[in-house]
Each structure stands twice: as structure tokens, then as C-alpha cells.
Amino acid sequence: MTTKNLLAILSISILSATLAVFLYSTFVEKKNLQQSTYLPVKLASYDDAIFSGKLQRKFLSSAPTNFIEAAKRVTPAVVNIKAIQGSENGIWGRGSGSGVIISPDGFIVTNLHVIDNSSQIHVALDDQREYEAKIIGFDKSSDIALLKIAGNNFPHIIIGNSDSVQVGEWVLAVGNPFNLQSTVTTGIISAKSRNINILDADNPIESFIQTDAVINPGNSGGALVNTNGELIGINTAIITESGRYEGYSFAVPSNLVRKVIKDLKEFGEVKRGFLGINIKQVDDTEAKRLGLSKPNGVCITRVVKNSGAAIAGLQIDDVILKINNKPINSTPELQELVARFHPGNKLVIDVFREGRVQQLTVQLQGIKKEPKDYLRKLKPFFKKYGFEARNLTNAEKRANGTEGVKVISITKGKKIAETNMEIGYIITSVNNQPIHGLFDLFAQLRSAPGENIIFEGIYEEYQGIYQYSFPTE
């Protein structure tokens, strides 16, 4: 074989190999990427210490099954928290949990129940440095608290987009169970938008990410991250009969966390919008009654008078299908989404009504603040009319599908006793004004016009609406 022929064969071989690599990278790899893409994720922007975010590239967060890199990124930013409860006379309690550093200047997210009622909070980093933390603010409705330690250039976690996570996706839980510092466990997303009825708050927001990553006491406040090392949730609770991990762990979604901590940093409190409706899940029976082709969305059971929902024209039996083009299929989904917005924000709501879908725009209102001393001012009204009432528990609200107050005592010979009202009566409105709790009751009794007060409500053991009327004087 001549040298000329050998060079020709070698040139053809190199050209063929180059073409094969080009075709593979162009068509095969591109096809694989197109088969498994995620929504764009917002990165936290720390320039102004507000999580305004930047659009990140699309990523395959669940593609790798090697968790080493994600663990390396996350572990330095997860801290051990020791909460000391005490007074001038000494320490009377200690608690421990986890927290997540979310900015280089030392802001830390944890659960409120980790640091609640504490007089001192000590934070230990993964590199053994220790700091005393101060509380910036907290939100009972989501069980989230924001802390701050002094310093700069701290390792921190990027806040990811919890809307992009999918059931079956690999995740890591990082925390300090049983005071074992920097423990990493893995699992998958088992479900989204779970309500497990554990938060003790007037307006609890439970739309947890469920995972089977191992979480035990001490993990509370720690990080749930995707395989890209981005925070998608704050580990909060487990369901267990033994008191230890049994496969059901729950985390507050990062998109809700982002809104809470932004408000706490800007305002010192969470400013949450009020939609003004009660809703229920749409099951198969309800879907047939309403004319839906299949169970879908959530059904409105009550519209609060003069609320944003009422002003926009929402009605009882409307089925909410989407909010801002995001599908809504459960009460937790709706609660979490609305909780991300402020009073004054407008929501575009797709509702199914009488066989067709229409769009309505609702402007959220603010939740009324209750004066701290209203309970003291309510007592004279209880004495005058001869009864006492308490706020409904969250379980009672869910069981009865309403808000209101429950009558717990009636004084013989007083005005309420003369109406034949019974203990256990749930007051849902006074003079046609809805009652959400004792503050509303106080406001209506204080400003009752005319000669009579009219209560409307229900009994748990009887069907129907019951009305009672009695004179103001």
C-alpha cells in the first residue's frame, strides 16, 4: 500500500468518526434532554437581601443518582440550633433542631417550633464555629422563623423552585437528628400539597412536600434539597406512631418559604392576602352535580360579604380550576398559592360555572388585625347577654365546613337563655355579618344597630340553620 493510499484511508476514518460524534451530540443527546426538562428555577439574589430571583437555566435536577456533589454544596450551610428556655432564675428547658443559612450575611431559616419561647438561641456551623442568633421574625401560619447571626461570607444554600419538583424525584434531607451534626439522608418526593393538620394557628397553611427521606427529631428546620443542591423545602414534621421515622416526612415548600422570609425582612411580619371564600374538594358526586366531566378543581361553599371574591363576582358552587394559569386541584394547593401574594395583588381565576369556564380578576384584601385587648372588652357583653363563647378549633372548622364561634356557657335568667339557645351552638353570623372568630363577634356586638341582635348559626348534631333574636337593652 502506497503512502498516498494510507493517508487517504486515514483521512476518511477521521472524517467518519468526527461526523458520528457530531450526529450523536446533535440528535441523541438533544432528544434525551427534551424528554426530561424542568420548569425554570429562580435563584436567590442577595444584592439587596431580597429574594427577587434570577431565571436559572433549565436543569435536570433528578438526573444524577450520585449525591456527593449536592451533599458537599449543602452540608456547610445547614446549622445546628440549640434553643434555651429560661428566666433570670435559671434554665428550665432546652430544645434543638436545624436551620439553613440562606444568604452570605447570616440569615437563617428554621421552624418556629424549634425556637419558640426561647430566651437564647445558639447556632453551630458545620465547621464548628458557634454564634448567638437573634430572631428577625416568625410566621405561625407556616411554622417558619427567620434568624440572623453576625458576620459575612457564610456558606449558604440557593433557594430553588418548589413548583418544579415532581413526584418520584430524588431529594436529600440534611439536618441534625438526635444532635448528630450534618446528617444526610436520601429519598424521593412521595407527594405534593399534603395537609396533615398539625399547625396550631388561626389560619394554618399546610401544603407540604411529602418525602420518604429519613427525618427524625432534630431534623426540624433543616434542608430538603434536589440533586442540584437547591433548597426546595424546610423539613418540618413526620407522621409516626412510634415517635421515630416511619417513612412519612413533610417539608414546607421553598416558594412559600421565600415569600415568608422576604416579608419578615421587609416588614417584620407576613403580609398575607385574603381571598374571601370557603372551599371544598370536588369528588365524583360533586362533579356530576355541577356538570363537570371529571372531579377537578375546588368548589366554593361560601363567599364572604364585601370581600375581594364577592366584589369580583365569585359565587357559591363556582369551581376554581386555575389561579394565574396554575391548575388548582386541592384546598392546600389554593391556600399555598394565595399565601404567596400580598394584599392589593390581583389574581386571575378560571372558574367553571353552569357548563362553561370564565375568567374573573380578584383583588386580595388584607386580613384584619385584632387589637390585643379585645377579649377584655368582650367580657362585659358576655355578662350583659348571659353567655360565653370561644373560637372554633381548626378541626371543628374543617368538620363543619364553616368558621365562627362556639357557645360554651349560658347564664340562666339572661337574654340568651330566653331564646332557648343551647350550649354548643356555633354562631356563624351576627346581623348578617360573617363571624370568623371572637374579634368579629366583639365588633358586631359593640356596633349592633337597632333594637335587636340576630344570631345565625348551626349545631353540629342537627341539620339546618338556626336563628336567634334578642333585644340589645
With respect to CATH, is domain 374-471 assigned 3.40.50.300? no
Q: How much is the pLDDT for 92?
A: 62
pTM over 0.75: no
Under the banding of pLDDT at 50, 70 and 90, the label for residue 16 is low
pLDDT of residue 185: 94
DSSP state letter for 140? T
Residue 472: predicted pLDDT: 86
Q: What is the DSSP letter of 321?
A: E
Q: Which of 266, 287, 379, 279 is nearest to 330 (CA)?
A: 279
Out of 61, 118, 142, 220, pick the active-site residue. Answer: 220
Q: Is 122 a catalytic residue?
A: no
pLDDT band at 54 (very low <50, low <70, confident <90, very high): very low
pLDDT at res. 31: 38
- For 334, the grid coordinates are 389554593
Residue partners of 7: CB distance under 8 A and separation at least 6? none
More reliable by pLDDT, 256 or 49: 256
38-269: CATH class: mainly beta
* Known active-site residue 143: yes
Of the residues 143, 212, 263, 350, only one is catalytic, namely 143
Q: Which of 169, 165, 164, 171 is CA-nearest to residue 213?
A: 171
**What pLDDT sits at residue 239?**
83
Lowest pLDDT segment from 39-43, 221-225, 268-272:
39-43
- Count of other CB atoms within 10 angstroms of residue 265: 18
Task: Look up 330 and say whether it is catalytic.
Answer: no
Catalytic residue among 96, 113, 141, 193: 113
Q: Which long-range contacts (CB under 8 A, 24 or more apart) does 86-89 make?
A: 86/119, 86/120, 87/119
CA-to-CA distance for 231 and 102, rounded, in angstroms?
A: 9
Most confident of 6-15, 75-84, 244-253, 270-279: 75-84
179: number of Cβ within 10 Å: 13
Is residue 174's pLDDT more than 60? yes
Give start-end residues of each CATH 2.30.42.10 domain in the chain.
273-366, 374-471
Count H helices, E strands: the chain? 11, 29
Say what the pLDDT of residue 17 is.
58
Four-CA torsion 331, 333, 109, 216, nearest 10 degrees: 70
Question: Which of 2.30.42.10, 2.60.120.380, 1.10.4080.10, 3.20.20.150 is the CATH number of 273-366?
Answer: 2.30.42.10
pLDDT in tens, 405-460: 999 999 998 999 999 999 999 999 898 888 888 988 998 898 877 678 999 999 98
CATH 2.40.10.120 in the chain: give the residue spans.
38-269
